[in-house]
Structure 1
Amino acid sequence: MELRQLRYFVAIVDHGSLSRAARVLHIVQPALTQQLQQLEEELGATLLHRSAQGMQATDAGKIFYEHALAILKQVSDARSAVAQSTDKPSGTVALGIPQSASGALAFPLLKAVRAAYPDIVFQLTEELTGNLTEQLRSGRLNLAILFDDGQLGGFASKPLVEEEMMYITRTDSQFACKRKSITLAQALQATLILPSIQHGVRPRIEQVVREQGKHIENVIDITSIAILKSALLADMGATILPVSPMLAEIERGEMRACPISDVQLSRTVTLCASKNIPLTNAAMAVEKLVLELTRDLSTSGKWLGTSILVAQ
């Protein structure tokens, strides 16, 4: 198996066509077809099939595609690590961020990296927490923002902030809290619109509710943060979440966040990297910038509901 075969295979999947992939790769289509056949023979599996939508990966091809991306990224990182200097880091850095944290951190981080390190190609990916964990483990991501649920032992982790979860509604909602704070029992009386279990925040909420001897009666599960916001604005219910995903709506006065007074409901936001794959100089530069930026956002009050952790 050769690296060029991996590149060829990935190009076919990405472009959905042998002819388009051949043009992008600057090779003739028969040579591309031959390399694909050799790869499939070596693996003993059919990786692609032709459909009305073009060339598509088989189930085996989908699995191999993920591994091929990870291998090609690690090769690229290795080349960058040898070539780059510590004074002027360059190369590609892929960082993953959960949907529920991107509102506070994604855009400031994008601006900060572009300003501080113009030679770094910064790839910022927003995903469900479970997807980020898998991509970081496979090497497709250099870094990821994750929530410490006690299952991060396989990663090199640096705590960033502790982020409080609050009871959030539309400002004039029928479910809005009547005072400056609300108890957990009162919050659970409302119809709750919560992220699905794949989100890092949901297991934490369920854990605290169980510890208090209670359970969630009325819940609407929504995977997408954007759809969850729309449901809140339509007054279909309330939510229990960190403020960061709703920050813009709260600042515009469209939503209201109310502290939960009788329980400690928060999550630990953590920066993670693989223990097995070394960080390039560029990735280490971005890692340092993430630590500095989260400290600034928290202490300035721009990242509401957070407190810096001493471990930084």
Structure 2
Amino acid sequence: MELRQLRYFVAIVDHGSLSRAARVLHIVQPALTQQLQLLEQELDVQLLHRSAQGMLATDAGKIFYEHAQAILKQVGDAKSAVTQSALRPTGTVALGIPQSVSGALALPLLMAVREKYPEISLQLTEELSGNLIEQLKSGRINLAVLFDDGQLSSFAVKPMIEEQMMYITRAKSQFAHKGKSIRLEQATQAPLILPGFQHGVRPRIEGLMRSAGLSINDVIDINSVAILKSALLADMGATILPVAPLMAEIERGDMVALPISDHVISRTVVLCASKNIPLTNAAHAVEKLVLEVAQTLCASEKWLGTSSLM
């Protein structure tokens, strides 16, 4: 198996066509077809099949595609590690950010990287935490912002911030509370719009409710941040979440966030890297910058409801 075969296969999947992949790769189509056949013969499995939509990966092909991407990325990182300068880091760095954090961190970080390290290409991936963990383990991303649930021992972990969860409603909502804070029991009186249990936020909220002898009587399960926002703006209920995913609406005055006075609901946000795959100089530079940007956002209160752990 050759690296060029991996590159060829990834290009075919990405472009959905042998002819388009051949043009991008600057090789003739028969040669591309031959290399694909050799790869399938070596693996003794069909990786692609033709359809009305073009060339699509089979189930085996989808699995192989993820591994091929990870291998090609690590090869590229290895080349960068031995050629780049520590003073002028260059190359591509892939950083994973959960959906519930990207609203606060993604844009300030992109701007900081472009200003301080213009020769670094930062690739941001917004995913659920579980997906980011798998991508970090396989080497498909260099770094990931995750939530410390005590299950991250396989990674090199750097604490960033403690993020408080708040009671959030539409401005002038029927479920709004008039005070400057709200008790947890009062918060449970409204229909609560919450992420599903595959999100780390939900089990933490449910666990605190049980320990306080409370229960949620009316829950609307929504896993999409965009749809959750729409439901809040339609005044279908309230939510208990960190502020980050709803920060734009809160800053505009479309939503209101209140701290919960009698219980602390928070999560620890950390920056993780693989213990087994070395970081390039560029990745080290981005790692340091992520921590700096997070600390600045926390100190300036632009990332509401947070306290620094650095």
Give TM-score, length-normalised by structure 1: 0.97
Question: How far 1:294 sits from its partner (Å)?
Answer: 0.9
Conserved 8 A contact 1:149-1:204: no
Question: How far 1:207 sits from its partner (Å)?
Answer: 2.4
Tell me what 2:93 maps to. 93
Question: How far 1:41 sits from its partner (Å)?
Answer: 1.2
Instruction: Give aligned-pair identity as a percent.
Output: 76
Tell me what 1:198 maps to. 198
Tell me what 2:280 maps to. 280
**Greater Cα offset, 214-223 or 290-299:** 214-223
Residues of 1 paired with 2:210 and 2:92: CA distance? 43
DSSP 3-state at the match of 1:124: strand
Tell me what 2:47 maps to. 47
Question: How far 1:221 sits from its partner (Å)?
Answer: 1.4
- Amino acid of the structure 1 residue aligned with 2:46: T
- Amino acid of the structure 1 residue aligned with 2:292: E
**Mapping 1:120-269, distance limit 5 Å:** 120-269=120-269
Tell me what 2:305 maps to. 305
Question: How far 1:212 sits from its partner (Å)?
Answer: 2.2
Residues of 2 paired with 1:50 and 1:215: CA distance? 52
> Could you say what the CA RMSD is over the residues aligned between the two structures, in angstroms?
1.0
DSSP 3-state at the match of 1:87: coil
Question: How far 1:231 sits from its partner (Å)?
Answer: 0.6
Deviations 1:121-159 (A, max 9, x none): 110111111111111111011001001111111110000
Aligned length: 310
Residues of 2 paired with 1:231 and 1:158: CA distance? 35
Question: How far 1:186 sits from its partner (Å)?
Answer: 1.6
Residues of 2 paired with 1:15 and 1:258: CA distance? 47
Residues of 2 paired with 1:77 and 1:37: CA distance? 28
Residues of 2 paired with 1:206 and 1:47: CA distance? 43
Residues of 2 paired with 1:108 and 1:162: CA distance? 19
Q: Which runs of 5+ in 1 are unaligned?
A: none
Residues of 1 paired with 2:65 and 2:77: CA distance? 18
Residues of 2 paired with 1:210 and 1:4: CA distance? 55
Tell me what 2:11 maps to. 11
DSSP 3-state at the match of 1:38: helix
Tell me what 2:61 maps to. 61
Q: Which runs of 5+ in 2 are unaligned?
A: none
Question: How far 1:263 sits from its partner (Å)?
Answer: 1.1
